[in-house]
Structures are given as C-alpha cells and as structure tokens.
Amino acid sequence: MFPLSVRSYYSLMRGCSSPNKLCECAAKLGYSGLALTDYNSLTGLWSFLAACKQYNLRPVVGVELSNCNDSSTVICLARNTVGYTNLCNLISKRLCDEHFLLEREIINHSDGVAVLSSSLSFLKNLHSSTVDLVVNLGDRPTEQASRLRKWAQQNTIPAVTVPAVIMAERDDKSLLQLMEAIRTNSRLYSQEKNNSSPVCLEPVATYRERFAVWPEVIRATKYLAERCSFTG
C-alpha cells in the first residue's frame, strides 16, 4: 500500500499538516513511501524530499490539478524527469491561463506523467489519447468504485486505491475545519456539523483489509508507485 494523494499545508486552506509531520506519521504507520500532491502547487517539494530522507521513505512527486471552470481535479504523478517538467508546465498554465482546460492541457503535457482520475467522463474522453491513465477508486470499495473498476478492466487500464489524505492525524480535524470555514467564508459551526470525515493517514492494514475483495487493486497501487522513478 502506498498513499498516492496527500496534501500538506502547502495546499493553502486545503491541508493542515507539514510535509515533515506527514512523513513522520507515514513512517510510524509502516509505509515505505508516499506521494505529495498539493493543490495546484509544488511549493512543498523540497521540504517533502528532506522529510522523506529523514524518515527513510521513498518520495513520489505529484500535484492535484484542478480545472478552471468547475471543481474537478486529477492527480498527476511524475514518472521521470520529463514528467516533472510537465508538472511544472501544467501548474504554470493553470495559474496563469484564465482559459485553462484540464483535458486539453493534460493531453499536451502528458509525457512522463501518470494521470489518476475518478471521473468516468474524463477517463472516456482521454482513453483514445496517449495519456497514461489510471482509474482512481478512492479509499474503499463502493458502488461507484465498482463501476469504475469494471470499466478499467474492460479497457485494460490499471485501477488503484487513492485515499485523499488531507491531514496527518485525526487530531488535526478541528484545525482543518477552521481553515475550511475561512476558505469558504462560512460559519465554523456549519463545518463542525458536516458529517463527512476528512481523510487522515490510516494504518497500512486498514486499506489491505478494505480492498481484500479486490486484491489486484493493491498490487496495481504498489506497481504504479514503483513506476514513478523521479524522486527529486
């Protein structure tokens, strides 16, 4: 098991843990490494690489890239040096181009990049392209994940487990709720009433147990992490 979607506090108001804290927790929980995928940003890269070295973890470099005209996002992971360059280009275009279109720019900057999506329409639209697509099944088997897995099998595309980690520990929930209230200009009370629980790093065994019914997903997750050879 390898966490492929992790935000740090460099995802401003969308994450609350330092790269060092995330790496410390990952090491304690038995992970061999993790991917840092901050929201439209690689700002935390050097802190992340230093923390991975400190805790003897294998880093995977990535970004959570958002579309310009809606709230959809994809996870982009650098497989090699060319992929890292394309991540930088994608982020620059996302931040500077007010007409940024996610599908178009992913196609134009796909070399060396693995693109993880849970959107069936996005996956279908890019299936015939040269983009290295990976189906994101989320953090547990669900009806939606089952439909995505079936489509992935029919189209010979890998499907992986991707818990969207946005905090290191459950104790960080109150801080994250405060940040979310500030970001959305809403009352803290409404955030506290929200029943959805932010995802923190869980023990490796938790995900292995959840996906025991789909063992190929755990294998595909491990293989994808191994394919991402760019480590800074």
Sole residue written with tokens 């050879």: 229
Reading phi first (left if > 0) and then psi (alpha if -120 to 50, else beta), residue 112 is in: left
Residue-wise DSSP of 194-207? --PPPPB---HHHH
Question: Is 42 part of a structural domain of the chain?
Answer: yes
Question: Is 31 part of a structural domain of the chain?
Answer: yes
Measured CA to CA, the distance from residue 210 to residue 160 in angstroms comes to 13
Question: Is 106 part of a structural domain of the chain?
Answer: yes
pLDDT (tens place) for every residue of the chain, 232 residues total: 899 999 999 998 888 899 999 999 999 999 999 999 999 999 999 999 999 999 999 999 999 999 988 889 999 999 999 999 999 999 999 999 988 999 999 999 999 999 999 999 999 999 999 999 999 999 999 999 999 999 999 999 999 999 999 988 877 777 777 777 776 677 765 554 454 555 889 999 999 999 999 999 999 999 999 999 998 8
Number of helices (H), then strands (E), belonging to the chain: the values are 10, 6
| C-alpha 58, offset from chain centre | 16
Sole residue written with tokens 């506090």: 9
CATH code, domain with 159: 3.20.20.140
Measured CA to CA, the distance from residue 18 to residue 159 in angstroms comes to 29
Report the greatest alpha carbon distance in the chain: 46
Question: Is 33 part of a structural domain of the chain?
Answer: yes
Question: Is 3 part of a structural domain of the chain?
Answer: no
* Host domain of residue 102: 19-167+199-227
- Domain count across the chain: 1
Question: Is 172 part of a structural domain of the chain?
Answer: no
> Can you give the pLDDT at residue 194?
52
> Can you give the pLDDT at residue 69?
81
Question: Is 117 part of a structural domain of the chain?
Answer: yes
Question: Is 135 part of a structural domain of the chain?
Answer: yes
Contacts of 150 (CB under 8 A, 6+ apart): none
- For residue 4, which phi and psi values (nearest 5 degrees)? -105, 0
